[in-house]
Amino acid sequence: MAQPPYLALIAERFGAAVEDRGFGHGVQAFAAPPELIVDLCRFLKEHPDLRFNFLSDIAGVDTHPATPRYEAVYHLYSLPNKWRVRIKCRLGDPPHIPSVTGVWRTANWHEREAWDMYGIVFDGHPDLRRIYMWEGFEGFPQRKDFPLRGYKDELNPFGAEGPPPTKPDLATRNIP
Amino acid sequence: MGGLSGGMRDSVLFTTADSVISWGRRSALWPETFGIACCAIEMISAGCARYDLDRFGVVFRPSPRQSDVMIIAGTVTRKFAPIVRRLYDQMPEPRWTIAMGTCAISGGVYNTYAVVQGSETFVPVDVHVPGCPPRPEALMHGFLLLQEKIKRSRALAGTPLERAATRVAG
């Protein structure tokens, strides 16, 4: 199988800023600085030889106690070429990264998930609300300093000592 | 309250009325049509032709206003618990609850921040059906246990009729 052209094209366009992290399990991995993510994603999506037109997932990672602490991982797929690419961005604390909702509309919910679970702020996101936990929930449950069993209240007598969680509000509002 | 009042309460009229009412209640247990997780698949299976809950008089109803039983079939998350509670509150009395499956009983393997650790924490539960998920036979056994419970409970206890009988006797 011929070498897919994305390595050479990315090196030509971005130089040493985007680092090659090797190929494994059918996925080519890159590491990129967060300020380049929108340019890199747009390049991968719109280049006629690449066409990474499907964003499979955006994952958050908490590498506590390492620094920089957070990481956003983008999984891309090229439907016409059947290639997979993974882009990793290390983020500081508090974590910030530009939103890629302008590149793929599906990024909207993926970024809301990463915000809900890890507290990663996606700058420029049109509607950055929680997606799994209810409005008014406090904390980011997938962070390593959040107790696995949550905090104790009457619904969860085995939780950790701490401020009891808020309750979901059942009032129906005009949701955009 | 004298010795006579007990005799009055247990008179032919009251025991006969009790048995007729509880027969009516236990023979037409109408559960709410909702399932939360994989236990619901077994619940649907129990309601379909092979296991056929209809023969016990268990007919799923589309509205809590028409229902007597709530089957909590699945993992109740903290986000969903107030909605389940609202469905319980919307049922007219007398009403019963079956907690189906390990998750509904105790939270099961989901001992986490997001899952309610047992339905008993937010609704009164009459019958627990263990299993992960319980087979349809287990749910049928749960319904038979519930019928047995209704059979042994006094349908007229605490009603104006019983209070009147106590006054007459006392």
A92-132 pLDDT, tens digit each: 989 999 999 999 999 999 999 999 999 999 999 999 999 99
Residue A162 confidence class, pLDDT cut points 50, 70, 90: confident
How confident is the model over B144-153, as pLDDT tens digits?
A: 999 999 998 8
Mean per-residue pLDDT, A160-167:
86
What DSSP line would sit under B127-156, residue for residue? EEE-SSSPPHHHHHHHHHHHHHHHHHS-TT
Q: Do B113 and A154 touch (CB under 8 A)?
A: no
Nearest CA in chain A to B76: A155
- The alpha carbon dihedral of A106, A112, A113, A115 has a sign of positive
Q: Reduce the DSSP state of residue A98 to 3 states and report it.
A: strand
Is A155–B121 a contact, with Cβ atoms under 8 angstroms apart? yes
Distance between A150 CA and the closest CA of chain B, angstroms: 4
Nearest to B117 among A134, A157, A165 (CB): A157
Q: Percent of chain B scored above 70 by pLDDT?
A: 91
| Higher-pLDDT residue of B17, A140 | A140
Q: What is the pTM of this model?
A: 0.82
Q: Please give the Cα distance from B87 to B75 (Å, whole number).
A: 16
Q: What is the mean pLDDT of chain B?
A: 87
pLDDT over threshold 70, residue A8: yes
Sign of the alpha-carbon torsion through A46, A51, A54, A55 = negative
Task: Report whether A68 contacts A96 (CB < 8 A).
Answer: no
If you average pLDDT over residues B41-45, what whole number do you get?
93
pLDDT tens digit sequence for A21-75: 999 899 999 999 999 999 999 999 999 999 999 999 999 999 988 989 999 999 9
Average pLDDT, chain A: 90
Q: Summarize pLDDT for B97-120 with one digit per residue, the tens.
A: 999 999 999 988 999 999 999 999
**pLDDT average, residue stretch B126-134:** 94
Which of the two residues, A2 and A15, has the higher pLDDT score? Answer: A15
Per the listing, tokens 């619940």 go with B43
CA distance A72 to A87: 8
Residue B1: the pLDDT is: 44
CA angle B27, B28, B34 (to 5 degrees): 135
Q: Is B161 on the interface with A (CB under 8 A)?
A: no
ipTM of this model? 0.78
Chain A residues whose CB is inside 8 A of the B86 CB are: 170
Q: How far apart (Å, rounded) are the C-alpha atoms in residues B139 and B128?
A: 9
Closest-CA distance, B60 to chain A, in angstroms, reads 26
Contact residues on chain A for B79, CB-CB shorter than 8 A: 132-134, 168
Residue A120, min C-alpha distance to chain B (Å): 20
> Å from B109 to nearest chain A CA?
11
